[in-house]
A and B are shown apart, each in its own frame.
Chain A
Amino acid sequence: MASNDPSDTGGLFVGRRPGTGPLRYRAQPARAGAGRRRFDRTLAAAILTLETLVLLTLWGPQPIAWLWVGSQVDFQTGSVEAGIVVAFAGMITTLMATLGVARLLDHYWKLTRRAAGYDQKGGAIERIFIVSVGLGLTLFLIYFFVIQGPGSSLFSPQAP
């Protein structure tokens, strides 16, 4: 190493870590009393629960609903292609709409958390989305491989 390497600060110059800057409001918020903050805490928890449920619909109810709609289109028109197109277009449309609603809920969750007295810098949508993907994928794999896939025949009494 060069004897004057500027990148080796040796811990002498420690700056603020990314994402730890203070919140900047347009004006200093007028905060309500303790009772209102308790209410806001509960409200924030409710919004977060709702947001989680909304995002979870992406990994079960919505695909199933659109597959059912697609099957109905196939049945009514006799066209498999039309069923597939309607099912996928519907899924994409409601996926976008759901994400929009979730973002809005996430925004209000942040505001209510701040109103409840927390120094809430970011939202929770990314974390909920990742957890719900993991959860949805796990449930799907169990369904696909165990309930409907090779697992069902391997563990069945009729298996050779």
Chain B
Amino acid sequence: MGLLDYYRQFDDLTEEEVNRGLRERRATEKALALEQVSVCDLSRTEWPDFPDAEVMNASIFAARRGVNGYPDRHASPARAMLADRHDVEPERIVIGNGATELLQAASFHLLDSGDELVTPWPSYPLYPLMAQRAGGRPVAVDLAGGAVDPDAVLEAVGDRTRVVVLCNPNDPTGTYLESSTLERVLSELPERVHLLLDEAYAQFQDREPVDAALRLTDRFPRLLVLRTFSKAYGLSGLRAGYAVGSAEAATLLESIAPVLGINALTQAALVHALRIGDPEIERRGRLVREQRARVFRAFHDLPVDAPQSQANFAWVRAAGLSGAEVAARLERASVLVAPGGPLGDEDHVRVAIRGPAATERLLSALRDAFGRA
């Protein structure tokens, strides 16, 4: 190495050379990305996009203001906004760490050892576990044609039944019970039985006003309606949900509330989401309803069937194939769906419904899976 060569090796790259290298690397990455088919995960039902940046900023802002003190135990600002929205007194609402936690707390409160919790099946898999954890016994009621059969539910109610849990729209089938049907069920339930109505996917239904079933709490003291911020709001990681009951259900509501409330970061996010989120939630609901109609229209031309869904998913069955086989065929096209086995029926898969691009991928994968052009 010559004398000058020795010093030249300490010459750094110019900005233009660095940028050229970065541009070349990015071009290579893009080319590779275009060659790959990204995985389209339709196995989960929470909203797939990141939460609104402003909502998360509100949470971060709260974190910076200090979390050394305890949060507001009742989450009063968020509770007041929810009360205003649902036209009920704030005392009729409790906010918890997700609707499931509130359901579990209600089970602990309502069930004694050996008491029964009646729930349609397939439904949200945690309902039977809730009963078992509370020392009770789950009683499964078969669906009729994929839909919840209210008469069968009422027939299953026995002397030891203390709780009926309905998911409406039902996860994983997506079927919906209208409020008039629920009113009949409530009227016929014995005095000792509470109805816990899980409306996790209520924003996606278009059969009736979103608060139609919630209004029943004005007249039925043993009805508790649960909503979540995990699905349409896409805030699963913050763990937030709430229960609405009648004024007479104050004791039950107080007993299922988290002892020291929900954390301050979640409270801040909820307040901001409730303040600015309505147009986006409406947009998401509209998007799902449009795509759901498109998916179900396409099902007519495919060898699959599904009960009419009012949620952001479809409960799909293909004749002659198990759910696991359907899921495996779709996975070959990099579309992931939830096999029905863990959800209660081996013959089905649960397919989330999202935006137009996801619908395109799903329908294309289904056509490929069943050899349709």
Q: How far is the CA of A6 from the CA of B11 in the complex (A)?
A: 40
Question: Considering the complex, which residues of chain A in the window 1-35 have a beta carbon less than 8 Å from any beta carbon of chain B?
Answer: 3-6, 8, 10, 12, 23-27, 29-30, 32
A114 at the interface (CB under 8 A from B): yes
Decide yes or no whether B67 CB sits under 8 A from chain A.
no
- Report B-chain residues with C-beta under 8 Å of the C-beta of A115: 6-7, 10
Flag if A5 contacts B7 (CB, 8 Å): no
Interface residue from A3, A25, A27, A111 paired with B61 (Cβ < 8 Å) = A3
Interface string of B57-68 (1 = CB under 8 A from A): 110110110000
CB <8 Å contact, A25 and B10? yes
Which among A3, A6, A10, A114 is the interface contact of B10 at CB below 8 angstroms? A114
Contact B60 A27 (CB under 8 A): no
Partner of B6, one of A4, A24, A27, A32: A32
Given A4-B272, A108-B7, A115-B7; A23-B60 close (CB under 8 Å): no
CB distance from A36 to the nearest CB of B (A): 9
B13 at the interface (CB under 8 A from A): yes
For residue B187, CB closer than 8 A to chain A, the reply is no
Residues of A within 8 A of B57 (CB): 4-6
B9 at the interface (CB under 8 A from A): yes
A111 CB contacts on chain B under 8 angstroms: 7-8, 10-11
Q: Count residues on chain A whose CB falls below 8 Å from chain B CBs.
A: 21
A71 within 8 A of partner (CB): no
The reply on A112 being an interface residue by CB < 8 A is yes
Q: Is the CB of B53 within 8 A of A6?
A: yes
Given contacts A3-B58, A4-B272, A6-B57, contact A25 B64 (CB under 8 A): no
Interface centre among B8, B10, B18, B64 (most CB of A within 10 A): B10
In the complex, what's the smallest C-beta–C-beta distance from B135 to chain A, in angstroms?
44
Q: Which residues of A contact B29 (CB under 8 A)?
A: none
Q: Which residues of A contact B13 (CB under 8 A)?
A: 24-26
Interface size for chain B: under 10, 10 to 19, 20 to 34, or 35 or more residues?
20 to 34
Collect the chain A residues with CB atoms within 8 Å of residue B60's CB: 4, 12
Q: Would you call the interface of chain B mostly helix, strand, loop, or mixed?
A: helix
Q: Give A116's nearest chain B residue, CB to CB.
A: B10
B133 to chain A: closest CB distance in Å? 38
Q: What residues on A are CB-neighbors of B8 within 8 Å?
A: 111
A26 touches B11 (CB 8 A): yes
A105-135 CB contacts (< 8 Å) to partner B: 108, 110-112, 114-115
A79 to B136, CA, bound (A): 115
Which residues in chain B, 65-82, are within 8 Å of chain A measured between CB atoms? none
Q: Which of B21-75 contact A (CB under 8 A)?
A: 53-55, 57-58, 60-61, 63-64
Among A10, A12, A25, which residue has its beta carbon within 8 angstroms of that of B12?
Answer: A25
Give the residue name and chain of the A residue nearest to B14 (CB): A24
Q: Which residues of A have CB within 8 Å of B7?
A: 108, 111-112, 115
Tell me if B130 is interfacial: C-beta within 8 Å of chain A: no
Check B58 against A4 for contact (C-beta < 8 Å). Answer: yes
Q: Which residue of B lies closest to A43 (CB)?
A: B7
Residues on the A chain within 8 Å of B165, using CB: none
Assembled-state Cα–Cα distance A110/B54 (Å): 46
Residues on A with C-beta less than 8 A from B18 are 24
* CB neighbours of A29 from chain B (8 A): 9-10
Q: B268 contacts the other chain (Cβ, under 8 Å)?
A: yes
List, in ascending order, chain B residues with CB within 8 A of A108's CB: 7
- 6 smallest CB-CB distances across A and B, nearest first, come from A4-B57, A10-B64, A114-B10, A4-B58, A111-B7, A29-B9
Further contacts, 18 of them, CB under 8 A, given A12-B60, A26-B13, A29-B10? A3-B61, A3-B268, A3-B272, A4-B57, A4-B58, A8-B64, A12-B63, A23-B12, A24-B12, A25-B10, A25-B13, A26-B11, A30-B1, A108-B7, A111-B7, A111-B11, A114-B10, A115-B6
29 A-B residue pairs with Cβ-Cβ distance under 8 Å, sorted by A, are A3-B58, A3-B272, A4-B58, A4-B60, A5-B61, A6-B53, A6-B57, A8-B64, A10-B64, A12-B60, A12-B63, A24-B13, A24-B18, A25-B10, A25-B11, A25-B12, A25-B13, A26-B9, A26-B11, A26-B13, A27-B9, A29-B10, A30-B1, A30-B9, A110-B10, A111-B10, A111-B11, A115-B6, A115-B7
